[in-house]
């Protein structure tokens, strides 16, 4: 059954466009997507697939249709699961791919309205490869696969953009292809992970969600860690709080509960400033604006600074930032295996890293005590103004752009092969 420009099934499939647009926006802002997003889309896909099958009954002469559905479900569903299993994709990315396999297993067709064609210049109409969308359908005929290849093109374009951006600004490092220098004091409101840059290929360091979890568990801000070297002593870990899941938008409990926060052994807090009981009646006097509440980030203009202290600069050169990774986890792990503790051994469990991971009964996004310590050493260094961070573009964003491209243009790989003369 058709309704003017497309079949009912193909019109139903258009629901993925606004759904993935919202998912891309939310994933960029929070790096979190609700699980309830996917079941309704899967249901729509199953209904559309059922309508397609019903319209083609008895299917005796349409075996290619069944082959395409079988390939979409038989290839993409296991692919999504395995990619998640081997940590190539996050959980939301894998669910998005699996959802696309159900919603777009075949190539939909949207005919251009006759009124629109009549208004187009004749030269343009003649130049169009066809008078329906997508203009260049996938050779395979499985739109979900076209979406995936389109998303890879978009992700590659992001890497190229990131590299050129670092190159043009003089930020030369082995991490310039996958990361960017980021002001250290803004890390609590950033997404991604620290990059280990030690002259070899960059490697992933401390996840910034894990950093936020640690700060919320301890009940302090990153600014306090940077201003108080004494907080490295695990003895300064006092009352602990719910670490949440580390999401930027998640409101922790400690700002309203703590009584002065952790203090170094000399009994001072807030950069050595004597504690004023009047400042801690439910919340700190130097509270950040509402949009930063609970994130661990206090902008310079509202953060108390000791007289004579220097505020961290907003940015630093790439050469300064190149050494700002979380340290060499492999060397640290080898040292741990040998019974050694890297760095300062004057205290057991620096920063209370092991205690944190033990208390939350988890790994905090794969974080080990050594990785957490190395990351904290990097970000708590008051002289280190920037660190290299892998922003980690959520793959749902390229998937959304891949969906739009697949429904309008078609398969970008097919188009590239045609443009190169290879097909």
Q: Output DSSP code: residue 311.
A: P
Name the phi and psi angles at 61, rounded to 5: -105, 20
In the structure, what pLDDT confidence band is assigned to residue 324 with cuts at 50, 70 and 90? very low
Same domain, residue pair 12 and 147:
yes
pLDDT by residue (tens digit) across 23-41? 999 999 888 999 999 999 9
pLDDT by residue (tens digit) across 54-85? 988 887 777 889 999 999 999 999 999 999 99
Mean pLDDT of 149-170: 94
Residue 290 has pLDDT above 50, yes or no: no
**Lowest mean pLDDT segment, chosen from 48-62, 112-126, 257-271:** 257-271
Same domain, residue pair 89 and 197:
no
Residue 283 has pLDDT above 90, yes or no: no
Are 206 and 371 a contacting pair, CB within 8 Å? yes
The residues facing 332 across adjacent strands are none
Q: Is residue 166 part of a domain?
A: no
Same domain, residue pair 145 and 186:
no
pLDDT by residue (tens digit) across 167-217? 999 988 888 898 999 999 999 999 999 998 776 778 888 999 999 999 999
Q: Is residue 163 part of a domain?
A: no
Are 132 and 109 a contacting pair, CB within 8 Å? yes
pLDDT by residue (tens digit) across 329-372? 444 443 333 333 344 445 689 999 999 999 987 678 889 999 99
413 vs 416: CA distance, rounded Å: 5
Is residue 173 left, alpha or beta, with left meaning phi > 0 and alpha meaning psi from -120 to 50?
beta
Same domain, residue pair 346 and 413:
no
Same domain, residue pair 145 and 195:
no
279 vs 304: CA distance, rounded Å: 12
Are 172 and 318 a contacting pair, CB within 8 Å? yes
pTM for this entry:
0.75
Q: Is residue 229 part of a domain?
A: yes
Q: Is residue 167 part of a domain?
A: no
Q: Is residue 168 part of a domain?
A: no
Mean pLDDT of 399-418: 92
In the structure, what pLDDT confidence band is assigned to residue 88 with cuts at 50, 70 and 90? confident
| Six-digit token string for 261 | 């926060």
Same domain, residue pair 198 and 269:
yes
Query: What three-state secondary structure class fits 194?
Result: strand
Q: What is the pLDDT of residue 281?
A: 33
Q: What is the pLDDT of residue 175?
A: 87
Are 328 and 196 a contacting pair, CB within 8 Å? yes
Q: Is residue 171 part of a domain?
A: no
Q: What is the pLDDT of residue 150?
A: 96
Q: What is the pLDDT of residue 347?
A: 65
Q: Is residue 23 part of a domain?
A: yes
Same domain, residue pair 195 and 82:
no
Same domain, residue pair 149 and 206:
no
Residue 262 has pLDDT above 80, yes or no: no
The residues facing 111 across adjacent strands are 132
The residues facing 390 across adjacent strands are 193
Looking from the CA of 90 toward its CB, the CA atoms found within 13 Å total 16
Are 410 and 202 a contacting pair, CB within 8 Å? no
CA 19 from centroid of its chain's CA atoms: 18
89 vs 80: CA distance, rounded Å: 8
Residue 309 has pLDDT above 70, yes or no: no
Same domain, residue pair 224 and 254:
yes
Q: What is the pLDDT of residue 251?
A: 72
- Residue 414: domain span: 2-158+395-420
Give all strands (DSSP E) within 308-412, no chain letters: 386-390
Residue 256 has pLDDT above 70, yes or no: no
Q: What is the pLDDT of residue 421?
A: 74
Could you tell me the CA-to-CA distances from 8 to 167, 234, 311 in Å, in that order?
A: 49, 63, 61
Same domain, residue pair 272 and 378:
yes
Q: How many domains does the chain have?
A: 2
Single out the residue of 169, 129, 286 nearest to residue 221, CA to CA: 286
What b/e readout covers 256-282, taking b as 16+ CB neighbours within 10 angstroms?
A: eebebbbbbeeeebbbeeeeeeebeee
Same domain, residue pair 51 and 149:
yes
Same domain, residue pair 11 and 152:
yes
* Segments in 104-142 forming alpha helices (H): 114-119, 122-127
Q: Is residue 172 part of a domain?
A: no
């Amino acid at each position: 059954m058709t309704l003017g420009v497309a079949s009912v099934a193909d019109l139903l499939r258009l629901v993925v466009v606004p759904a993935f647009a919202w998912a891309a926006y939310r994933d960029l802002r929070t790096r979190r997507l609700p699980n309830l997003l996917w079941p309704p889309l899967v249901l729509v896909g199953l209904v559309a697939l059922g309508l397609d099958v019903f319209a083609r009954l008895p299917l005796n002469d349409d075996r290619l249709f069944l082959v395409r559905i079988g390939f979409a479900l038989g290839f993409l569903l296991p692919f999504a699961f395995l990619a998640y299993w081997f940590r190539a994709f996050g959980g939301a990315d894998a669910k998005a791919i699996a959802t696309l396999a159900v919603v777009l297993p075949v190539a939909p067709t949207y005919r251009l309205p006759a009124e629109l064609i009549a208004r187009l210049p004749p030269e343009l109409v003649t130049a169009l490869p066809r008078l329906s969308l997508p203009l260049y359908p996938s050779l395979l005929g499985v739109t979900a696969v076209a979406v995936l290849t389109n998303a890879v093109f978009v992700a590659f374009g992001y890497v190229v953009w990131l590299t050129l951006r670092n190159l043009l600004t003089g930020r030369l490092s082995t991490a310039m292809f996958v990361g960017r220098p980021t002001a250290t004091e803004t890390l609590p409101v950033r997404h991604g992970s620290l990059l280990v840059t030690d002259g070899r290929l960059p490697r992933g360091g401390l996840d910034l969600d894990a950093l936020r979890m640690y700060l919320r568990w301890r009940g302090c801000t990153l600014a306090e860690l940077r201003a108080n070297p004494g907080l490295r002593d695990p003895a300064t870990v006092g009352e602990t709080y719910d670490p949440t899941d580390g999401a930027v938008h998640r409101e922790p409990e400690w700002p309203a509960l703590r009584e002065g926060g952790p203090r170094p052994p000399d009994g001072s807090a807030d950069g050595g400033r004597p504690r004023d009981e009047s400042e801690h009646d439910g919340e700190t006097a130097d509270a950040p604006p509402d949009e930063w509440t609970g994130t661990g980030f206090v902008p310079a203009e509202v953060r108390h600074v000791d007289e004579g202290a220097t505020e961290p600069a907003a940015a630093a050169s790439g050469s300064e930032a190149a050494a700002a990774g979380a340290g060499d986890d492999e060397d640290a792990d080898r040292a741990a295996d040998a019974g050694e503790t890297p760095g300062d051994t004057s205290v057991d469990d620096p920063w209370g890293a092991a205690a944190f991971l033990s208390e939350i009964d988890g790994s905090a996004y794969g974080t080990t005590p050594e990785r957490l310590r190395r990351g904290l050493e990097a970000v708590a260094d008051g002289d280190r103004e920037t660190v290299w961070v892998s922003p980690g573009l959520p793959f749902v964003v390229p998937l959304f752009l891949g969906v739009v491209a697949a429904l309008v243009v078609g398969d970008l790989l097919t188009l590239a092969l045609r443009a190169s003369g290879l097909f």
